[in-house]
Each structure stands twice: as C-alpha cells, then as structure tokens.
Amino acid sequence: MSEAAGLNLEQGAANALTAAGVMRIYPGAAGNVAALRGLDLEVALGEVVAIVGASGSGKSTALRILAGLDRPSAGTVVSLDAALERAPERALVRYRAGVGVIDQQYWRSLSPYLTARDAIELPLRLRGWGARARAARATELLEQVGLGDRGGARPSQLSGGEQQRIAFAAALAPRPRLLLADEPTAELDERTAAELVALLQALVRREGATAIVVTHDLLVEGMADRIVYVRDGRAIAVRRGTNAEVEPIVDASGWRAPDLPPPAPRMAAVEPAAGTEPAVVVEHLSRTYGTGSGAIHAVRDLDATFATGGLHIVTGPSGSGKSTLLRLVAGLDRPTAGRVLTLGTDLAGLDREALARFRAMDVAFCPQAPRLVPFLSALENVELALAIRRAGDTVTQRRERAHEALAEVGMADLASEPPDTLSGGERVRVAIARAVAARPRLLILDEPTSALDRASATSLIAMLARLDRANVTMLVATHDRDLIAAASDRLDLRDARRG
C-alpha cells in the first residue's frame, strides 16, 4: 500500500473517528491478555466524548491506538480520514502531528531539563513555529492554566498538579485537530480541574477540534456531548448528555451489552485516631527551593500534629505544599527551617543511611506518580520492596506477604503480569500493595485514588480502614472529596502562599 493510501487528511468526513471491532491482545506471563475485545466507537467532528469505565477495562489502550502509538490486533480504525491499522509508519508520524495527547503518566512528557515554558514551546518548535509565535502561545497557555509566574520552573520545582497542567498546555499548544486525554484532571483540585475543563471546552468550540477524554471525573463527564461506558474492552452503553438516560448498546448481530454495574457504595468513614501519642509532629516547618526573587516557598512556617492511628488527610490546591510535606515527614527531603518528628524520631538527627534504615523499618511511602520496575511482574515488584527492606525471614515468607498485599488491593489475578500490560489504575494498586506489604507503622500515600474508578477507590478505603484497626497511622494527600469525607481528621493547606 502506498503512503498516500495509508493516510488521507482531507476534511470531508462527518466523523472525526470511526473504530469497528477493535481488538488488542498483549502477550502475558500467564497467557495472552485481551485489553480490547471488539470496541466500536464513532466520534463526530467537533464532538467531545467522555469514555468511562473501571480500571482495566481498556480505556487507555483505546487512546493509544487512536493516537497512532499502537496498532490493533484486529478491527479497523479511521481517524481524521487515516486508516490507522494499516498506515505506514511515516504516515502515522504525519497523522500524530495533528493529534494532542495528554497521558495519564503525564510526567513522561516533561523533560527534567526543560522549564515549563520550554516544555510548551517544544512541540511548536518541532512543527516549525517561529520564536515570536512560540513565545506568545506559551505565555497565553501558562496564563490559562494558572501558572503565568511559573514559566521558568523545571518539573522538580513543580507539584504533581502543576506538572499535569504544564503537560496539558503542551498538548494544547499546536492547536490539535484531535485531542486525546487520559484522566487529565485526576490530580487537580476541584477549582483547577474546573478551569482546565473550561479550557478544553474553549479549544473544541473555538478551534473546531474533537476531543476524547478518558475520565472518572464528574466535571469532565458534565462537559461532554456524549458519554461512552466501556467494560471488558467493549462499549456497553452510551449517554447523550448528563441528564439523558443511559442507552444500552445492541450491535449488528443482536448482542445486547450487559447492564452498567451499580454505583459504588459510599466510602465508610475511618474512626478518629485512638492513640494519645503523636505519630507525626512538625514545628515551624518551612521548605524553600531556590534563592532570591525566584525562590519557591513550598511550605512556610507550618505547625501540625497527627495522632497515632487513624486516617489523616492533607488537602489544598495544587502547589500548596501537600507532596512536599509528605516527603519531609518521610525523610525524603530536608526542611529549610523547623523540625520534623516522625514516630518519635527527630529526623534532623539522622544522616542519609540512618534515614534509609528508619524508613525500611517503620515507614512506607507511595508517591503521587509511583514507578514500578518494568521488567518485573506485579508480584516481583512487591517482593523486591520487601527484600530491600529485609521484611520477612525467607523468600517464601516474602512471597506470601506479597500475594496477600496484592489480594488486598484486588490485584491477585494479575500478580504475574508486568506493569506495561496493566492499566494506570492497576499500576497504582500494585504500588499501594508494595507499600502495604511492608506492614509499616506509618503509611504515607500521595493522591492514592486519583487514577482509580469509584469502585476501586471505595475498596481502597475499606482496606485502609482495616489497616487502621491494625494500629497503622495513615497520612494521605488528596483532592478526592469522598476520601476526605472518610477521614479521621483533615489539615487544609489552602492558605499556603508562595513568596
């Protein structure tokens, strides 16, 4: 087939995208894994479609195929008039120039060596934009995502939510005809998420783009023209607007999709901490990055105490210092001023090796963007963490603890799978299992439910409640309203300000 036949970008079609019978099968350690099992999807030009489904239902796989980053095992995909399943690689490169992608693992699109402004300008530079036009577009987008004063910051100087906003801006920069977003608001506070949803709406309406958004966020569902529900790699129902009835899908052969699962029950509240001794105390705590006029005050003169036991929540807008506070409590960063007492230990008195031993014995930390070792299975990732901590006397004991932790987070059936075959939510659950398996006295979690559907998030809270009964102290940073409602107590960093 010629390259011209493989890719035709004429604007005549009524649909921006048509997928029919799409299957994607990955080889797995325990046999082949079918991520998509006959997905059918049509999206009109200028339409905004939200794709909703449980973790592992094939949503992220579908986006990768629509982005031209993967090919289906079977079925057809025509996007912007390009037949993606058979287009030559050079044609796919040209196709991708008209597609903006916001990955669930947003940090992968941000070089640690580029400033926020450089990251936004990079896709424009690759497309041949002039310096003046690049600078103007970057300034416009930095203001629109609420980071007009942060253009000179590198990713290490930005919170997770701020990094996500820069990744969003970089994807929007070239004014793509098709925008594909995977959980774009997952780690943002409600106000910032609403602003980004409004920005997405403006792009689609003003510039004639088409958007497909994978989400668990009701804000995103509310702005969509149509919501497609996916289960086990197939579309099972559709809703045309937030107030419309859900319509089950019946395919050409007469197959009727199963009913939608019932809504997840409300998360049960965790009892207030019963301990009288504090698990964590911070006094006049400050952490500043940089110096002079460019200094960033991530945490400033903070006093807080968290009792032993219970589920303690830290909230606040993106960039208010939540992740920084957690890292200081875990001894993964040092304060500029003040002190941290964790489990009765003044961390200032410990050198690097002593801090590592302290964490190995008593503290488990699951960061906002957890990484797994890609060439190990889910089970082996958990086992490795236990071996490093020297938790468990024998290999058999460590394996039993790893299996138990994976079962706690609903990942027992996927224990033998490597991370690349897992969805974003499934990878997060493995990372949480890795932390829980250590049986720490202090469990620190940063945005643990951001990539999870409501059912998975509810199961996680039930697990945390069981940990509370085992006298584990939990310190969690989150924007999740349901998780906040389930907490024993809450520290709000809303008033934190940068100097």
Give pLDDT tens digits for 438-450.
889 999 999 888 7
- Residue 220's H or E segment, with its range, is helix 218-223
Q: What is the pLDDT of residues 260-279, one digit of tens each?
A: 766 666 666 777 666 668 99
Q: Which two tokens stand for residue 375?
A: 């060439």
The answer to whether 151 touches 142, Cβ cutoff 8 Å, is yes
The average pLDDT across 298-317 equals: 89
- Residue 466: what residue type? R
Residues in the chain: 499
Q: Cα–chain-centroid distance for residue 445?
A: 14
pLDDT exceeds 50 at position 43: yes
Pairing of strands 210-214, 48-52: parallel
- Residue 356: what residue type? A
pLDDT exceeds 50 at position 301: yes
State whether the Cα torsion 287-275-479-409 is positive or negative: positive
CA pair distance 480, 463, nearest whole angstrom:
16
pLDDT > 70: percent of the chain = 90
pLDDT exceeds 60 at position 6: no
Q: What is the pLDDT of residues 73-93, one digit of tens each?
A: 999 999 988 899 888 988 998
pLDDT exceeds 90 at position 453: no
**DSSP line for 47-102:** -EEEEE--TTSSHHHHHHHHTTSS--SEEEEEETTEETTT--HHHHHHHHTTEEEE
CB-neighbour burial class of residue 184 (10 A; exposed 0-12, middle 13-18, buried 19+): buried
**DSSP line for 169-208:** HHHHTT--SEEEEESTTTTS-HHHHHHHHHHHHHHHHHH-
CA pair distance 277, 280, nearest whole angstrom:
9
pLDDT > 90: percent of the chain = 34
Which region among 134-138, 273-277, 421-425 has the lowest average model confidence (pLDDT)? 273-277
Return the residue matching tokens 């398996």: 437
Q: Record the pTM.
A: 0.71
Rg (CA), the chain: 23
Task: HSE, CB side, 13 Å, CA atoms: give it for residue 230.
Answer: 32
Domains and CATH numbers, the chain: 3-98+176-248 (3.40.50.300), 278-373+441-492 (3.40.50.300)
Task: HSE, CB side, 13 Å, CA atoms: give it for residue 59.
Answer: 33
State whether the Cα torsion 262-264-268-269 is positive or negative: negative
Q: How far is CA 109 from CA 17, 99, 168, 334, 436, in A?
A: 25, 14, 10, 28, 29
Per-residue confidence at 1, pLDDT binned at 50, 70, 90? Answer: very low
Per-residue confidence at 497, pLDDT binned at 50, 70, 90? Answer: very low
pLDDT exceeds 50 at position 9: no
pLDDT exceeds 80 at position 217: no
Q: What angle do CA 408, 409, 412 make, to 5 degrees?
A: 80
Q: Which two tokens stand for residue 439?
A: 């049986």
For residue 358, the tally of other CB atoms under 10 A from its CB is 17
pLDDT at position 344 is 92
Per-residue confidence at 495, pLDDT binned at 50, 70, 90? Answer: low
Q: Which two tokens stand for residue 450?
A: 């951001």
Per-residue confidence at 26, pLDDT binned at 50, 70, 90? Answer: confident
The average pLDDT across 117-126 equals: 94
SS3 483: helix
Cross-strand bridge partners of residue 79: 17, 82
The average pLDDT across 50-64 equals: 86
CA pair distance 473, 121, nearest whole angstrom:
44
> What letter would DSSP give residue 402?
H
Q: Which two tokens stand for residue 308?
A: 């032993």
Q: How far is CA 146 from CA 65, 174, 470, in A?
A: 31, 19, 42
